[in-house]
């Protein structure tokens, strides 16, 4: 079986939806599915590369488990989901590089676990989850994961929530609980811009979308983009021309932090 075309007219499922051990499955194609009454499990589908076809789903009343899908590179197709009733588990998806498709999820009713996704480098996409809806937090053995200090994680840890954070990317701000807590402490915009670090030269400023950063030895530096509340929105590696594209972001003021091993510079950019 390579597709679930035969189920494409299904609009709701009252119980579990389990898609497990379908070695030839490449396409879900459940385009009319809007709600799942219990658990969604997508596990061990070795040729599944995308979750496109679940775009209409808005809520899952039970657990959502995405595990052991060895070719899955993103969670594209889950962008309509706003609420998960129980645990959210993302584990052992070796090629998964982004969870950004989950940015509309605002609440879960259980544990949040991100474990052993060896290509994942950022938790951006999970930042809008209400931290009070998380009962425990596990972020372990994601060997490429360097960015954990998103709003939901920082607020959850600040409230004293139970957590297990360790063995992520070495020498990163996500390597263990202590490193994440330290990174969370500097996400305040007021703290960031009270430092004496030199300002970034950006042009054009204001911009309609594309702007440039002027600096020596810029290639490979990390740029972080924050909104006015201090939420980290994007993290990227700069190329030698210093070009940055924020065309997909709403109009408004953004704060910039450029780093190599140490903090290099800070600045602002206005998108009109």
Q: Is the pLDDT score of 151 beyond 80?
A: yes
Buried b (16+ CB within 10 A) or exposed e, 213-222: bebeebeebb
CA distance 165 to 163: 6
pLDDT digits (tens, 9 = 90+) for 84-112: 999 999 999 999 999 989 989 999 999 99
pLDDT digits (tens, 9 = 90+) for 35-87: 899 999 999 999 998 888 888 889 899 999 999 999 999 898 899 999 999 99
The angle that helices 177-185 and 151-158 make with each other, rounded to 10 degrees, is 100
Going by CATH, does the domain composed of 189-271 fall within 3.10.440.10? no
pLDDT digits (tens, 9 = 90+) for 217-262: 788 888 888 887 667 788 888 998 999 999 988 888 888 888 776 5
Buried b (16+ CB within 10 A) or exposed e, 41-66: bbbbbeebbbbbbbbebebbbbbbbb
CA distance 63 to 235: 29
Task: Name the maximum alpha-carbon separation found in the chain.
Answer: 62
pLDDT digits (tens, 9 = 90+) for 170-224: 988 899 999 999 888 754 555 555 544 556 789 999 999 999 998 877 888 888 8
The residues that bridge with 88 in the sheet, in sequence order, are 64, 112
């Amino acid at each position: 079986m390579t597709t679930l075309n035969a189920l494409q007219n299904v609009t709701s499922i009252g119980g579990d939806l389990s898609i497990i051990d379908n070695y030839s499955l490449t396409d879900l194609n459940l385009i009319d599915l809007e709600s799942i009454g219990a658990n969604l499990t997508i596990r061990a589908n070795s040729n599944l590369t995308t979750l496109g076809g679940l775009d209409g789903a808005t809520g899952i009343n039970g657990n959502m488990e995405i595990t052991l899908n060895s070719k899955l590179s993103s969670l594209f197709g889950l962008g309509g989901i706003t609420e998960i009733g129980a645990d959210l588990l993302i584990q052992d998806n070796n090629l998964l590089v982004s969870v950004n498709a989950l940015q509309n999820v605002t609440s879960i009713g259980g544990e949040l676990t991100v474990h052993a996704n060896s290509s994942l480098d950022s938790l951006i996409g999970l930042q809008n989850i209400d931290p009070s809806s998380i009962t425990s937090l596990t972020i372990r053995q994601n060997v490429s994961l360097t960015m954990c200090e998103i709003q939901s994680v920082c607020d959850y840890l600040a409230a004293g929530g139970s957590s297990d954070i360790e063995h992520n990317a070495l020498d990163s701000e996500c390597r263990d609980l202590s490193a994440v807590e330290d990174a969370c402490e500097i996400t305040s915009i007021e703290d960031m811009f009270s430092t004496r670090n030199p300002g970034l030269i950006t042009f054009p400023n204001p911009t309609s979308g594309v702007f440039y950063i002027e600096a020596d030895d810029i290639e490979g530096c990390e740029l972080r983009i924050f909104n006015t509340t201090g939420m980290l929105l994007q993290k990227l590696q700069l190329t030698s021309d210093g070009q940055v594209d924020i065309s997909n972001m709403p109009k408004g003021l953004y704060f910039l932090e450029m780093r190599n091993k140490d903090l290099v510079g800070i600045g602002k950019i206005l998108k009109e």
